[in-house]
Structure 1
Amino acid sequence: MTLPPDELRHLRVLRLRPGDRLRVFDGRGQEAEAVLERLDEGGALLRLGEAVQGNRETPQPVTLAVALLKGDKLSDVVRAATELGVARVQLLQTRFSDVPDIGEQKLIRLRRIAAEASKQSRRAVVPEVLAPVPLLQLPLGGQQAFVAHPGSAERLSERLDWSLPVLLVSGPEGGFSDAEVAALTAGGCVGVTLGPRILRAETAPLALLGAIAALGV
């Protein structure tokens, strides 16, 4: 198979040369051994070998629904969330979101960051990064849903059951409004604590995912 020029940066960061072995993946879970045959400005030629059965995913897919954040905070969250095993990132518009919406180019950049983070963490799956939707349109059925909420006494470790997919909901810097919390709770979303300290909006989703990753090992 041939890799296009835009894939060369990662090969060069790894200092790969013709004859070196590596693994390739399709972003949907399939993985295979390969040997680098040629590497130049025009691209890279790989000779594919046997398929590999990877085992780097959580027992059930995990979706992170995270409020829109300003600056590069969303980029940092998507990158770290990919490393922590998330299957999907659903961006949310909430009452107190730092920004009301993001453009198409920002969404494309976030998807590229997810792909790069998958390579770095040696995952065979590239998480979806979905365009923002209003919080009240977030589907909650058919999965376990948890929301990081400072007022909760519930612990994620005591409520998590790997028989269903998992949805984690995390809010903006200003938190969720009372109406938003009530709507999430009415839809079956369980409020969970992240400890006695108040975490920043870009830290809370990663704390949730870190707990999920540890419980899913």
Structure 2
Amino acid sequence: MDAARARPPAVRRRVHRVLVPRLEGGSVALRGPEAHHLRDVLRVKPGAVVEAFDGAGRVAPGQVAAVDRDGVTLALEEPRASAVEAGLAVTVAVALLKGDKLSDVVRQGTELGARRFQLLVTRHADATSLSPARLQRLRRVAEEAARQSGRAIVPDVTEPLPLAELTWEGGAIVAEPEADGTLAALLAEGAWRAGPLTTVTGPEGGFAPDEVEALVARGARAVRFGPRVLRAETAPVALAAALLLSAEA
């Protein structure tokens, strides 16, 4: 048998991703939840490969230098800008939804590359407020999704505000089933690629007509997905995905 064929395949070492907000090269001592997760859940040993990220766009590869009862010490290279973040900055502005639907929106939107989530209070929404505990949970969902998907930015999830108070930089795109324009037509154009963009989607009961009219009067563009009507938790993810993936094509 050929020696090259007999050689076993190389084993790819697992890389543990660690959130280090004040990221710098050299020796970094971890305490608290990140240290607990590495030491007690993952049971890492000295020499384990890590990638630290600061939640704001920088990463630093390195390894575990020491593990003890006080925490975990990392040896990191100098931080650098992440190469995986989307070039198009997209804010997902989404109406408050029933149950745990917002967790799915935040998780999937983060995986796709959204930069920020703005929660909205709209007229037809069944939910009109969000407790501090639920807001913190959504922020933890964003952090874990960023860790899992290899991102270096943890999108912020901001407190709900009335739809009339929503502001944006660049352009805004409103998902509206009765709109004249289509998402396909928008994607065929090139101007939106310069960004930044804010996507705006409504609650289970949809936007009131005058809510859409007010957004359009302020410069937003209303589009429909096509002949199919999407659920309130599907629309924000689908719209963000279409824009982010098209921008990278």
Fold match by TM threshold 0.5: yes
Question: Is the CA contact 2:46–2:64 (under 8 Å) kept in the aligned structure 1?
Answer: yes
Equivalent residues in 2 for 1:1-217, closer than 5 Å: 1-7=28-34, 8-9=36-37, 16-39=44-67, 42-140=70-168, 142-152=169-179, 153-155=181-183, 156-159=186-189, 161-217=192-248
Question: What code does the residue aligned with 1:132 have?
Answer: P
With over 3 angstroms needed to count, the CA separation of the structure-2 counterparts of 1:10 and 1:88, relative to structure 1, is farther
Supply the AA of the counterpart residue of 2:246.
L
Q: Is the 8 A contact 2:39 2:71 kept in 1?
A: no
TM-aligned CA deviation for residue 60 of structure 1:
2.9
Q: Report the count of equivalent residues.
A: 216
Deviations along 1:31-73, whole A, 9 cap, x unmatched?
1112112345543211111333322222231100000011111
Task: Tell me: CA distance 1:208–1:13, structure 2 relative to 1, closer, same or farther (3 Å).
Answer: farther
Structure 1 spans left out of the alignment, 5+ residues: none
**CA pair 39-151 structure 1, distance change in 2 beyond 3 A:** farther
Identity %: 45
Mapped to 1, the partners of 2:205 and 2:110 lie a distance apart of 25
Unaligned runs of 5+ in 2: 1-27
Partner secondary structure for residue 162 of structure 1:
helix
**1:193 Cα offset (Å):** 2.0
Rg bigger for which structure?
Answer: 2
Aligned partner letter, 2:239: L
Q: Report SS of the residue matched to 1:81.
A: helix
> CA distance change for structure 1 residues 134 and 23 in 2, over 3 Å: closer, same or farther?
same
Does the 8 Å contact 1:33/1:52 carry over to 2?
no
Q: Displacement of 1:108 after TM fit?
A: 1.1
- Which segment drifts farther, 160-169 or 94-103? 160-169
SS in 1 for 2:123: coil
